[in-house]
């Protein structure tokens, strides 16, 4: 996975400005986290819920909650901000899943909700490729860059490199052949590398 020290520096700079009271910096910081939050939501919105629950709506809800409650954030590091933001997002995802499950009259246990112990327990309980991939600042940079890709390419790259699915599983999930998925991955990764290189050129 590509790494970007410059982009990590941007995250830290924006957080420092946001903590100092710069609301524009906070907005930019949250915007950079949208792809990351979407990837987290998409991991949990499964079991048929995708047709009724839009991950982007949950992301928007989380961003609004973070804007309203940023005064409660006590940290200074990007990692601390990510944990704080993930807690808000975790709660929103669980609430939306519960709401949709209850609306369908189904038992909530069947929907595989997030771990009740919070984000740290959740990550520890599921040391999967996706949990490891979404655990640091590089995940924010990567998932933000993914937003420039066409939907199928974005889904293929996310499923392969963030969720660790095999080509056959991705093909089944996307309704494509394995050869088609391989092509989506090749084109998506090429565009992703170009985007990350471009971001680095423009970094302060």
Return the pLDDT at 90.
92
**In CATH, what class is 148-204?**
mainly alpha
SS3 of residue 147 by DSSP: coil
What DSSP line would sit under 47-94, residue for residue? TTGGGT--HHHHHHHHHHHHHHHGGG----SHHHHHHHHHHHHHHHHH
End-to-end CA distance of the chain: 22
Contact residues for 156 (Cβ-Cβ < 8 A; gap 6+): 170, 174, 181, 184, 185, 188
Return the pLDDT at 201.
58
Return the pLDDT at 53.
83
Return the pLDDT at 105.
56
Return the pLDDT at 185.
95
**Domain residue limits, the chain:** 5-127, 148-204
pTM (predicted TM-score) = 0.70
CB 58 within 8 A of CB 49: no
Tokens matching residue 36: 């990351």
CATH number assigned to the domain covering 5-127: 1.10.1740.10
Return the pLDDT at 4.
52
Q: Which residues of the chain have pLDDT under 70?
A: 1-6, 46-51, 101-135, 199-204
């Amino acid at each position: 996975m590509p790494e970007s020290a410059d982009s990590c520096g941007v995250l830290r700079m924006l957080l420092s400005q946001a903590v100092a009271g710069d609301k524009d910096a906070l907005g930019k910081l949250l915007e950079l986290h949208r792809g990351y939050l979407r990837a987290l939501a998409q991991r949990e919105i499964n079991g048929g819920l995708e047709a009724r629950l839009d991950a982007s709506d949950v992301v928007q809800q989380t961003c609004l909650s973070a804007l309203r409650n940023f005064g409660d954030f006590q940290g200074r590091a990007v990692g601390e901000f990510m944990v704080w933001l993930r807690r808000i997002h975790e709660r929103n995802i669980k609430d939306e899943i519960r709401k949709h499950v209850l609306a369908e009259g189904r038992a909530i246990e069947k929907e595989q909700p997030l771990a009740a112990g919070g984000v740290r327990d959740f990550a520890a309980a599921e040391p999967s490729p996706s949990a490891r991939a979404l655990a640091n600042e590089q995940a924010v940079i990567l998932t933000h860059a993914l937003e420039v890709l066409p939907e199928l390419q974005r889904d293929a790259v996310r499923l392969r490199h963030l969720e660790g699915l095999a080509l056959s599983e991705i093909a089944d999930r996307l309704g494509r052949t394995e050869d088609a998925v391989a092509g989506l991955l090749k084109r998506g990764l090429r565009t992703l590398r170009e985007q990350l290189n471009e971001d680095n050129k423009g970094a302060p």
